[in-house]
Chain A
Amino acid sequence: MPEINFTIDAQTGEMEMKVEGVQGPQCADVAKIVTELTGTPQQEENTKEYYARPNVRPQIQNKQL
Chain B
Amino acid sequence: MQIENTFLKVSNLSKSYKADAPPVFEGIDFEIEKGEFVCIIGHSGCGKTTILNVLAGLEDATGGDAIMLGKHIQGPGLERGVVFQGHALMPWMTVLQNVAFAVKSKYPDWSKEQITEHSKKYLAMVGLVNAETKKPSELSGGMKQRVGIARAFAIEPKMLLLDEPFGALDALTRGVIQDELLKICKETNQTVFMITHDVDEAILLSDKIMLMSNGPNARIAEIVVNTLPKGRQRASLHHDPMYYPMRNHLVDFLVNRSKDLQIKGAKGELDGYKPVIVLPGVDAAVA
A and B from one complex: no
Interface residues, chain B, CB within 8 Å of chain A? none
A residues touching B (Cβ–Cβ < 8 Å)?
A: none
